[in-house]
Structure 1
Amino acid sequence: MTAHEPYSGVFPAMVTPFGDDGSIDFESLSADAQRLERAGVDGLVPVGSTGESATLSHDEHVEVVECVSAAVENVPVIAGSGSNNTAEALELSERSAEAGADGLLLISPYYNRPEPAGMEQHYRTIADAVDLPQIIYNVPGRTGRNIAVETAVSLADHENIVGYKAASGDLGRISEVVERTREADFSVLSGDDAMTLPTLSVGGTGTISVVANVEPERTCAMVGAALAGDYERARSLHHELGGLMRTLFEESNPIPVKEAMAMRGHCEPHLRSPLSRASEGVRGELEDLLSDLEPTPELELEA
């Protein structure tokens, strides 16, 4: 095994575009990956929750990773490959590596609600077997169980486990993970757009972001300003994006973000059942918000 660098910056949690028959629209997926790379993001994260991985077959999952990996040239592709079944997560991780993934994002086991010992064993099994940088993902709102801080800190000593995606909404927990892994080559990345700036303020290194699908330049400018210590500019951009961040989560992700991307011409708003199209109210809010967020020359120069 080799030592891996931690992650820093903006990593859009990509959507998976579908045609009106429910099939994957690989042409739009490839174009979207290239658009985000041109906008200046630091990496791409396909087949996570935002990518509707729960309704993709394993073969489709691998095909998405192959498509995104082939589409981009200079940014890493971090494939979502988690499962509540360790053997299944290991298989998805191995297949994602073969498909060209540069790293892995591993949601914690959902539904089973493992105890800390089982959680740690799950992650170490995959990290021991797959020599790619891996990010553990804490999102108790989807999984029903927090990754204990002690577990995250212990896993940070594994050379293949290089980061923690924080989507608990608990800044105290996030701050403790940062505090207790400061001596390790370990990234703490926000997994909640509204918490990105607070997470950076306590020592986080970036974000795996939904809003960056719609506003990659502003998101990159905000995170870049914060990492450079320019919190006045970072706060200004955070508040510019605030309304959009909130509306993107008024209904289950990725319902609103697909609608917003359709309004910008990046994909169709099709989702796989049981997800349904955004309500008229959310569509109206998005139209108003996007009309106020036109690209600016300044941001284009920074991207």
Structure 2
Amino acid sequence: MSLRQSLYGTGVALVTPFKSNGEVDLDALSKIIDFVINGGTEYVVTLGTTGETPTLSKEEKIAIVRFTYEKVNGRVPIVVGIGGNDTAELIKELETFPLDKATAVLSASPYYNKPSQEGIFQHYKALAAASPKPILLYNVPGRTGRNMTAATTLRLANEVANIGGIKEASGDMAQCMQILRDRPENFLVVSGDDALVLPQIACGMDGVISVAANAFPQQFTHMVRQCLKGDFKAAKSLNDVLIEAYDLMFAENNPAGVKAFMTELELLQNNLRLPMVPLSEGLYRQVQGFLKGK
């Protein structure tokens, strides 16, 4: 089965909850996984950037992956995030991480060292050759400092067999439409921008990997399903309610925004790892006001 079939709809980029002493809170993670699956998300993504992976040790990452497999227990597909800017180190991780129960590996393009488009291509080609699971490209230039062009994405899609799709978060609608126009038939294209999901699905995307679905799984997945059915009038009425929430979630940083919502929903404690800090007091009050008026 292609990724376009198995990962169609809404995936959620799971946050990593922490205890007040800084340890990973597996009890809260258990609650969150049940919350998003029961809310209708089609699959979960563990160890994405929303999970504060730059501050997790390798041992913590492996423990989170194993716990997620056990908790999900086959209810939905699981995508594991393995990304970075050291190609050789990532190849080692792909060869040693527990990926047996994963559907795919989500891998952000290299950050900070800003490779050329040829460098990005060769990086992903090497990862695809080493990975036991299909690679889902992740283009997020706001974090990485380098956009992966439509031409590079399409070259990877057509020339590298173990690359099954892309999470496209450039925010560039023209680039998205070029990828959608020219992609191979079974190449998955999903949004990485919650606020742009509706128009991007209208252009042909297959769904989204969402931050907002951590806090609003039922409302958000219903909106996405309406989009995928082509009922954009119904989808817009659902999306209009969530627009303010999107703004609040990303006003300062991710995942501080969504963790503020989840704290109010009693899903986790409002703890992050430095250099990330909780939402400022004024914005937190706006989150509370949104939830009260919803």
TM-score tier by shorter-chain length is over 0.9
Cα deviation, residue 160, structure 1: 2.2
The answer for the alignment partner of 1:161 in structure 2 is 163
The answer for the alignment partner of 1:18 in structure 2 is 18
- Give the aligned residue type for 1:90: I
Cα deviation, residue 69, structure 1: 1.2
8 Å CA contact 2:149–2:175 kept in 1: the answer is no
The answer for the alignment partner of 1:204 in structure 2 is 205
Cα deviation, residue 97, structure 1: 4.0
Q: How does 1:165-184 map to 2 (within 5 A)?
A: 165-181=167-183, 183-184=184-185
CA distance in 2, matches of 1:18, 1:281: 23
TM, length-normalised to structure 1: 0.92
8 Å CA contact 1:48–1:80 kept in 2: the answer is yes
CA distance in 2, matches of 1:162, 1:288: 41
The answer for the alignment partner of 2:216 in structure 1 is 215
SS of structure 2 residue aligned to 1:104: strand
- Give the aligned residue type for 1:180: D
Percent identity of equivalent pairs: 37
The answer for the alignment partner of 1:5 in structure 2 is 3
The answer for the alignment partner of 1:66 in structure 2 is 66
Q: How many residues align?
A: 290
- Give the aligned residue type for 2:66: E
8 Å CA contact 1:66–1:100 kept in 2: the answer is no
Deviations, residues 3-46 of structure 1 (Å, cap 9, x unaligned): 63322111111100001111101111122112211111111011
Q: Say if 2:272 is the partner of 1:274.
A: no
SS of structure 1 residue aligned to 2:49: coil
CA distance in 1, matches of 2:97, 2:222: 30
Deviations, residues 169-218 of structure 1 (Å, cap 9, x unaligned): 1111111111110x431111111111111110100010110110010011
Q: Which runs of 5+ in 1 are unaligned?
A: 294-303
SS of structure 2 residue aligned to 1:22: coil
Cα deviation, residue 237, structure 1: 0.9
CA distance in 2, matches of 1:268, 1:100: 29
Cα deviation, residue 95, structure 1: 3.5
CA 1:96–1:206: 2 relative to 1, 3 Å: farther
CA distance in 2, matches of 1:292, 1:66: 38
The answer for the alignment partner of 1:50 in structure 2 is 50
TM, length-normalised to structure 2: 0.95
- Give the aligned residue type for 1:238: N
Q: How does 1:103-182 map to 2 (within 5 A)?
A: 103-157=104-158, 158-181=160-183
Cα deviation, residue 90, structure 1: 2.0
SS of structure 2 residue aligned to 1:189: strand
Deviations, residues 33-92 of structure 1 (Å, cap 9, x unaligned): 122111111110111110000100111111111111111132111111001111222233
Cα deviation, residue 99, structure 1: 6.2
8 Å CA contact 1:4–1:159 kept in 2: the answer is no
CA distance in 2, matches of 1:289, 1:113: 38
- Give the aligned residue type for 2:70: A
CA distance in 2, matches of 1:281, 1:170: 31
The answer for the alignment partner of 1:92 in structure 2 is 93
CA distance in 1, matches of 2:10, 2:97: 21
The answer for the alignment partner of 1:79 in structure 2 is 80
The answer for the alignment partner of 1:234 in structure 2 is 235
CA 1:274–1:249: 2 relative to 1, 3 Å: same
SS of structure 1 residue aligned to 2:167: strand
Q: Which runs of 5+ in 2 are unaligned?
A: none
Cα deviation, residue 132, structure 1: 1.1
CA distance in 2, matches of 1:116, 1:60: 32
- Give the aligned residue type for 2:147: N
8 Å CA contact 1:193–1:211 kept in 2: the answer is yes
8 Å CA contact 1:79–1:96 kept in 2: the answer is no
Q: Say if 2:32 is the partner of 1:35.
A: no
8 Å CA contact 1:31–1:71 kept in 2: the answer is no
8 Å CA contact 1:4–1:160 kept in 2: the answer is no
Cα deviation, residue 133, structure 1: 2.3
- Give the aligned residue type for 1:54: P
- Give the aligned residue type for 1:59: E
